[in-house]
Amino acid sequence: MQNQYRLGIDAGGTFTDFILADRKGGVRIFKALSTPNDPTAAIRNGLALIEEETGLSPETIVSNADLCINGTTVGLNALITHNGAKTGLIATRGHEDSIEIRLGHKEDGYRYDPDYPPATMLVPRYLRRGVGERVLSNGQVHTPLNEDDVREACRHFLREGVESVAISFVWSVLHPEHENRAAEIVREMMPDVRLTVGSQLYPQVREYTRTSTAIVNAYLAPILQRYVEAVDAYFRSLGARHPVRYFQSNGGLALGKVVSDQSVYAINSGPASAPQAALWLGQPWGMKDIITVDMGGTSFDITLTRDGRANVSKNVDFLRYRIGIPMIQVETLGAGGGSIGWIDSMGLMQMGPQSAGSEPGPACYDQGGEKPTTTDANLVLGYLNPDGLVGGRLPLNVEKARAAIKTHLADPLGISVEKAAYGMFTIVNNNMVNAIRRVSVERGYDPRDFVLNCAGGATAAHITALAREMGTRKVLISKLASGLCAFGQIISDVKYNYMAPAAARLEGAESAAKLNGLFNGLEARGRADLMADGFTDDTISIRRSLDMRYVGQVHECTVDVDPFEVTEAALERLKAAFHARHEELYTYAEPNSAVEVVNVESAITGAVDKPGRMTVVPGKGAHSALKGTREMIFNADGIAHETPVYDGAALGAGDRITGPAVIQEVTTTIVIEPGWLAELDASGVYVLTLATQTGAAQPQRATEVA
C-alpha cells in the first residue's frame, strides 16, 4: 500500500458494508443502511458515520486512500425489479425470438405448477427487430447484411424512445463484420444510445447465450453508467488521487468505464469476492482448498476455491436470464436467519425458501412476525443471546420464538418445541449441505477435502454443524466474518477476461500453433488495457484455459493450460488433463475418443498490493474471557445442557476453547459443537479443528507471513 488507507464499500440488500484498512493492519467494519433508490446516498451516509466514530473526515480518508473499491448491487437490483433501460435488439431475421423461446424449457420444480409465470422479457417482442443477414456455421456469408433493415430498426427504436441497443447475429463470432457494420449504422443514427455488440461482449459460440448476455448488458448499461459517473464524481470531489475501482462477478476489479460498458460483469459481484477473502485467511496455513459459506437474513451463498482457484461458471441462468461470461460460481439457496419453517402439503417439515425478511422478521424480533424462523430455532436452542444481537441493540423474545415453533411445527408434528427447534436447525443445515454439493460434488470434488470458511453474520451459529454434516475437519472464522465480502474486495486484483472461439481438434503442431497465436492475440489486448490503467509488466499475470469436450458432446469442461506455451507436446498433456477431469466429474473417461477445443480464454490480472494483516495481541487464556453460561441443546433428543459463553473481544491470540461453547463476537455468534476445538490465531481468525481420539488436532502454521 502506497497510502495511508484503503476503503472498500460493498452494497448489500439491507446494509452497505464499509471496510477501512490501514497500512499497519488495522481493519474496521462499518455498516450503513443501503439506499437502493439513490445508491450514492448510502456512501455519503457511511462516510459520515465513519467520521462520527473515528474523527476522520471523508476528505481525509479519500485523499489519502490508494484505492476506493466499490461493490455495487445497482445492476442486480435493476435486474431483480426489471427496472433497466428501455432496450432494443437487432437480430438475424428469423431469430428474433430465441430469448423468448428460452430453449423451450420450463424450470424444474414447477413442472405442473399452473401459476409459475414465464420470465419477464427485458426486451419485448416489438423491440426485437430482425434484419437480413446470415453467416453459416463454417463462417461463410450466406446473406450479406441488409443495411436498410438496420436503418429501419433504428428509426423504429427512435420512435419508441429506446435508450440502449443490443446487436446479436447468428454465428457472428465467426464473422463479426456484419455486427460491426450494423453497430456503425446504429452509432450514426442513434448517437445517444448505449450499444452492446454480441461478438465483442461475449465472443463465444451459442447464439441464445450470446444474445441473452448482450441483452442483459444493454439493459443495465445506462443504469451502471449513471451510477459510475455519480460515484466517480463524488470521489473526485473528495480529492481522490486514484480512480474508483469497481468489483465484478469475475472476482476482480475494473475501472468505471469498463463496468459501464460491460455491465453484465457487475451483476453478482457481492459474493464473488468470498474466494479471495478465503485464500487470504487461509494463507498462513497454506490452505488452498476452501469452501466459503455466507448466510445472511434470507439467503445462503456458497463459493469454492480448489488449489487456490475459484470455481467459475459460464453459460448459466442467473435470475432466469442466461449469462455466458465467466463469473465466480456462487450457488445461492433461500436459507437464512429469516427462513421460515413450515409443513408442506405432504406433511414434511421444510425450511425456506420463504423468508420473514427484516420486516416483520423472525418471531423473536417481536415486530409482528408469527412464523418460526431459523433465528427463532437458534434462540430456543440457546445459541443466541436473548439480550440481543448486534451488541444488544436488538433484544430477542424467547417466548415469541417458542410460541411460533409450537403452533406451526411442534404441535402439528406431535413433538416438543425443543425437538422441533433442533429439527429446524438440522433441516436448514442439510439444505445447505445439499447446496454445497453443487459447488463441490457436481464439480468433481469431495467436500471432505476442503476447509470450511465462515462469512456473513448468521453463519457462525451453523458452522460446526455444517462441517459435521459435510465431514469437514477444519473451519475458519474471521473476526471480520460479517463483512468478509467487503474485505475480499479490498484485497482483490484488477481482472479482465478475454475470449475467442476456437473450433479445433487437438491434433498436431499446426493446431498447437493456432491456439498459441489466439492466446497471444487476446493477451496483447489485455496487457494494453492494464497498462493504460497504470500496471507494469511485472504486476501482470495471465491464466490460460481451454473449453474442451469429446467430439460430439456439446457441453465443455474447462482445463487450465499449464505450462503456459501451447506446443504440440503440450497438447498430449492437455488431453490427459481433460480425460482426468471428465472422469472426476462423471465417473468415466473415453481415452480413445477424439477431443476438440471450443473456446479459449485468457484471464488477465493486474496485481494490487495488499494491506497489512490484522494482529491480535496474545491472550491470557480463555478463562479470562468467560462471560457465563447458558442452557443449550446440541442433540436431537432436545435436552439442554449448561454451556459456557465467551466474549470474543476479550480473547487473545493463542487462546483455546473446547466445545460445547459459544463465542460472542460483536457482529456474530460462534457456536462450537461438542468435539471441536477453537483457537484464536494472531491474524484474527478462529481456527476450529475436530478433536481426534488422540487429543485435539492443532492448527499448524505452514509459514509465518508478514
Partner 1 sequence: MTKRNVDPITLSVVRGVLETTQREMTLTLEQTARSSVFNLAHDYSTALFNHTPEMILQGQDIPIHLGSLIPAMKSVAKFFEGEIHEGDLILHNDPAYGGSHIIDTCMYYPVFYEGELVFWTVCKGHLTDIGGPVPAGYNPNATEIFAEGLRIPPVKLWDKGKPRHDVMNLLLTNMRARRDQEGDFNALIGACQVGARNLINLMKKYGKDVVQDCIAELLDMAEAHMRKLIAGVPDGTYTGTAILEDAGHGFGDFDITATVTIKGDACHIEIASPPQVPYFINSYEGNSHSGVYLGLMMFAQLPPPYNEGLYRCVTTDMGPKGTLCNAKSPAPHMNCTTTPMETLTDAVRLAFEQAAPAKVSASWGHANGCNIAGWDKRHDEEYVTMVLASIISGAGATAAQDGWHACGPECCFGALTSGDIEMLEHSYPIIIHRYGLMEDSGGAGKNRGGSGTCWEVEPMDTPMTLVTFGEGRRIPAMGAAGAKSALIQPKVGRLEVTRNGQTRIITENVIETIQPGERAANKNPGGGGYGNPFERDIQKVVEDVRNGLVSLEGARLDYGVVITDRDSLSVDHAATAKLRAA
Residue 65 C-beta: closest distance to partner 1, Å: 45
Nearest-approach distance from CB 91 to partner 1, in angstroms: 10
Largest CA distance in the chain: 81
Give the integer Cα–Cα distance in Å for 290 and 303.
Answer: 8
Q: Which is nearer to partner 1, 72 or 212 (CB)?
A: 212
**Residue 405: other Cβ atoms inside 10 A:** 28
Q: DSSP per residue over 210-225, as a string?
A: HHHHHHHHHHHHHHHH
Q: How far apart are the first and last CA of the chain?
A: 14
We find the least distance from the C-beta atom of residue 311 to partner 1, in angstroms, to be 15
Which x/- pattern, by CB under 8 A, does the window 639-658 give for partner 1?
--------------------
Taking CB under 8 A as the binding criterion, the range among 111-119, 183-191, 490-498, 672-680 that sits at the site for partner 1 is: 111-119
Among 88, 222, 423, 648, binds partner 1 (CB under 8 A): 423
Q: Which helix (H) or strand (E) holds 399?
A: helix 398-405
The pairing of beta strand 253-255 with beta strand 245-247: antiparallel
Q: Which of 415, 650, 666, 696 binds partner 1 (CB under 8 A)?
A: 415
Can you give the three-state secondary structure of 556-603, one letter per residue? CEEEECCCCCCCHHHHHHHHHHHHHHHHHHHCCCCCCCCEEEEEEEEE
Which CB sits closer to partner 1, 278 or 598? 598
Q: Give the residue with the Cβ less far from partner 1, 293 or 680.
A: 293
What is the nearest approach in angstroms of partner 1 to the Cβ of residue 298? 19
| Three-state secondary structure call for residue 437 | helix
Q: Judged by CB under 8 A, does residue 178 bind partner 1?
A: no
* Whole-number Å distance between alpha carbons of 661 and 675: 10
The count of residues in the chain is 706
206 binds partner 1 (CB under 8 A): yes
Strand partners, 376: none
The CB-of-136 to partner 1 minimum distance in angstroms stands at 6
Decide whether 110 or 564 has the Cβ nearer to partner 1: 110
Cell of 314: 459460464
Is residue 94 within the footprint of partner 1 (CB under 8 A)?
A: yes
> Which residue among 55, 109, 191, 628 contacts partner 1 (CB under 8 A)?
109
Please name the residue that has the C-alpha cell 423473536: 364
Q: How far apart are CA 200 and CA 94, in angstroms?
A: 22
| 39-54 and 207-237 helices, crossing angle to 10° | 40
Q: Which of 636, 639, 649, 705 binds partner 1 (CB under 8 A)?
A: 636
Query: Closest separation between CB of residue 404 and partner 1, Å?
Result: 17
H-helix segments, 161-310: 177-189, 198-201, 207-237, 256-261, 274-282
Enumerate residues 435-464 that contact partner 1 by CB under 8 A. 437, 441-442
And the C-alpha cell for 614?
Answer: 490484522
Minimum Å distance from CB 211 to partner 1?
10
Among 528, 532, 554, 706, binds partner 1 (CB under 8 A): 554
Q: CB of 79: closest distance to partner 1 in angstroms?
A: 21
Contacts of 156 (CB under 8 A, 6+ apart): 88, 129
Among 407, 550, 627, 652, binds partner 1 (CB under 8 A): 550
Quick one: CA dihedral 398, 399, 405, 410, positive or negative?
positive
User: Contacts by 174-177 with C-beta closer than 8 Å and gap 24+?
Assistant: 174/135, 174/137, 174/138, 174/139, 174/501, 175/135, 175/139, 175/140, 175/141, 176/200, 176/203, 177/145
Among 355, 431, 667, 668, binds partner 1 (CB under 8 A): 431
Q: Report if residue 126 touches partner 1, rule: CB under 8 A.
A: yes
Q: Of 115 and 192, which CB lies nearer to partner 1 in the complex structure?
A: 115
Pick 17 or 149: Cβ nearer partner 1:
149
The CB-of-587 to partner 1 minimum distance in angstroms stands at 5
Residue 114 touching partner 1 (CB under 8 A): yes
- Considering the rule CB under 8 A, would residue 413 count as an interface residue with partner 1? yes
The interface with partner 1 within residues 28-47 (CB under 8 A) comprises none
Q: Which of 37, 115, 307, 703 binds partner 1 (CB under 8 A)?
A: 115
Does 427 help bind partner 1 (rule: CB under 8 A)? yes
Site string for partner 1, 567-596 (x = CB under 8 A): ---------------x--xxxx-x--x---
Task: Please give the Cα distance from 288 to 291 (Å, whole number).
Answer: 10
Q: Between helices 147-160 and 177-189, what is the axis angle to 10°?
A: 40
β-pairing, 15-22 vs 5-11, is antiparallel
Q: Which is nearer to partner 1, 507 or 647 (CB)?
A: 507
Listing DSSP states for 465-491 in one string gives HHHHHHT--EEEEETTGGGHHHHHHHT
Q: How far is the CB of 493 from partner 1 (least distance, A)?
A: 31
Query: Grid cell 505450462 — which residue?
Result: 563
Q: Are strands 451-455 and 474-478 parallel, antiparallel or unpaired?
A: parallel
3-state secondary structure of 698: coil
Residues 142-171 that bind partner 1 (CB under 8 A): 142, 170-171
If binding is defined by CB under 8 A, does position 120 make contact with partner 1? no
Integer Cα distance of 454 and 465 in angstroms: 12
- Minimum Å gap between C-beta 400 and partner 1 is 23
> Does 552 sit near partner 1 (CB under 8 A)?
yes
3-state SS of 497-564 is EEEEEEEEECCHHHHHHHHHHHHHHHHHHHHHHHHHCCCCHHHEEEEEEEEEEECCCCCCEEEECCCC
Number of residues that bind partner 1 (CB under 8 A): 72
| Of residues 105 and 393, the one with the C-beta less far from partner 1 | 105
Indicate the residue among 393 and 555 with the shorter CB distance to partner 1. Answer: 555
- The contact pattern for partner 1, residues 276-305, with x = CB under 8 A and - = no contact, is ------------------------------
Q: Which of residues 240-279 bind partner 1 (CB under 8 A)?
A: none
Smaller CB separation from partner 1, 109 or 628 = 109
CB of 573 to partner 1, least distance (A): 22
Task: Mark the segment that binds partner 1 (CB under 8 A) among 94-102, 222-230, 602-610, 616-624.
Answer: 94-102
Instruction: Compare residues 29 and 312 and give the one whose CB is closer to partner 1.
Output: 312
CB of 301 to partner 1, least distance (A): 18
Q: Which of residues 335-394 bind partner 1 (CB under 8 A)?
A: 344-350
Residue range at the interface with partner 1 (CB under 8 A); choices 293-301, 434-442, 612-620, 682-690 = 434-442
Q: Of the two residues 111 and 393, which places its CB atom closer to partner 1 in the complex?
A: 111
Cβ 14 to partner 1 shortest distance, Å? 28
DSSP state of 170: T
- Per CB under 8 A, contacts with partner 1 among 495-514 are 503
Q: Residue 271 has what DSSP assignment?
A: G
Nearer to partner 1, 21 or 557 (CB): 557
Buried b (16+ CB within 10 A) or exposed e, 548-560: bbbeeeeebbbbe
**Residue 104 sits in the site that holds partner 1 (CB under 8 A):** yes
Give yes or no for residue 208 binding partner 1 (CB under 8 A). yes
Task: Choose between 414 and 628: whose C-beta lies nearer to partner 1.
Answer: 414
